[in-house]
Amino acid sequence: MDLLSGIIKAFSFPEVVSQDGGEVDGLVIAVHLLMLVLFVGWLIYYCVALWKFRATNNPKADYKGVKSKTITNSIEGAVIASELVLVVVAIYFWNFYVNEPSDFSEASVVRVTAEQFAWSARYPGADGKLGAQSKTLVSAANPFGIDKSKPYWEDDVEVLKSDIVVPMIKNEDGTHKSVTIDLTSTDVIHCFKVLPLRVCQDVIPGMRIPIHFRPTKVGRYQITCAQLCGDGHARMKGAVKVVDEVAWEEWYKAEVEKKKPAAEKSTATTANDDKA
């Protein structure tokens, strides 16, 4: 019984912690079913051909082959139909993943930058906007390649080579708020894969690629780099930490506080002391 449950578990989907994860599982099942239909179809065709053209029935080779167009047309039809199904399903899911979610806001964007061999994140500060970023400006002192000649960058919150914290916020209608992650890389191609969130997106230098998901469960989920990105690829681990709304507010407030200039912080502390 243990063996059976172990086998079932090995062939089951991992836990889903994103609202739309079920759709991804549906896509995986649909593609596998389509492949199964094609596999069985071709297997039947192969067996029929073996039987029909067996040596005992056809002692002499017929070099002209089959003249009827039925077989050729059926094969071409099957190829076109299966390609069409794959293209339609792919376009549907591509739209689903790249289009902005209905509740998109600039303030909920997290800009994640990959490098050999770590993940870092940048969040909009109190102004709700992220500063401009350019690959040409990336250096040890400016790992995100921030363009300091443009506005909005000063109050941005940075998390270097640590957990990427995102909030799990439940809407009144029972749905969950979306999180948008803009992915980029400072060196080579990496891949941001978080299985429980059902996201897997290549991270390409010079490009900013958005992905969306709606976390439904608090927890710490491993980011696996799914592109061989160098000799340290195997140790390129990161984590997406999904926290509830209260923990998110606390964390974000503390990070914003860290960004404030020392003078501003001491004024705030004195004001609080006065109140006490």
* Residues lying near Cu ion in the complex (CB under 5 A): 190, 225, 229, 233, 236
Residue 221 CB, nearest approach to Cu ion (Å): 17
Rank residues 217 and 233 by Cβ distance to Cu ion and give the closer one.
233
Residue 203 CB, nearest approach to Cu ion (Å): 9
Please list, in sequence order, all residues whose beta carbon lies within 8 angstroms of the beta carbon of residue 123, skipping any fewer than 6 positions away. 110, 111, 130, 156, 157, 158, 159, 252, 255
Distance separating alpha carbons of residues 133 and 124, to the nearest angstrom: 13
- Strand ranges inside the chain, DSSP E: 109-115, 118-123, 157-159, 164-168, 179-185, 190-194, 199-203, 209-213, 219-225, 237-244
What's 143's DSSP letter? T
Rank residues 190 and 212 by Cβ distance to Cu ion and give the closer one.
190
Residue 184 CB, nearest approach to Cu ion (Å): 14
Distance separating alpha carbons of residues 107 and 128, to the nearest angstrom: 4
Residue 238 CB, nearest approach to Cu ion (Å): 10
Does residue 233 sit in helix, strand or coil? Answer: helix
Half-sphere exposure of 206 (CA within 13 A, CB side): 1
Rank residues 43 and 234 by Cβ distance to Cu ion and give the closer one.
234
What's 239's DSSP letter? E
Are 198 and 21 spatial neighbours (Cβ–Cβ below 8 Å)?
Answer: yes
Joined together, the tokens standing for residue 141 give: 């002192």
Residue 236 CB, nearest approach to Cu ion (Å): 4
Rank residues 151 and 232 by Cβ distance to Cu ion and give the closer one.
232
Residue found by looking up tokens 């991270």 in the block? 203
Distance separating alpha carbons of residues 256 and 60, to the nearest angstrom: 84
Rank residues 109 and 236 by Cβ distance to Cu ion and give the closer one.
236
Amino acid making up residue 210: P
Rank residues 84 and 228 by Cβ distance to Cu ion and give the closer one.
228
Residue found by looking up tokens 């160098």 in the block? 230
Residue 128 CB, nearest approach to Cu ion (Å): 32
Residue 222 CB, nearest approach to Cu ion (Å): 13
Rank residues 16 and 229 by Cβ distance to Cu ion and give the closer one.
229
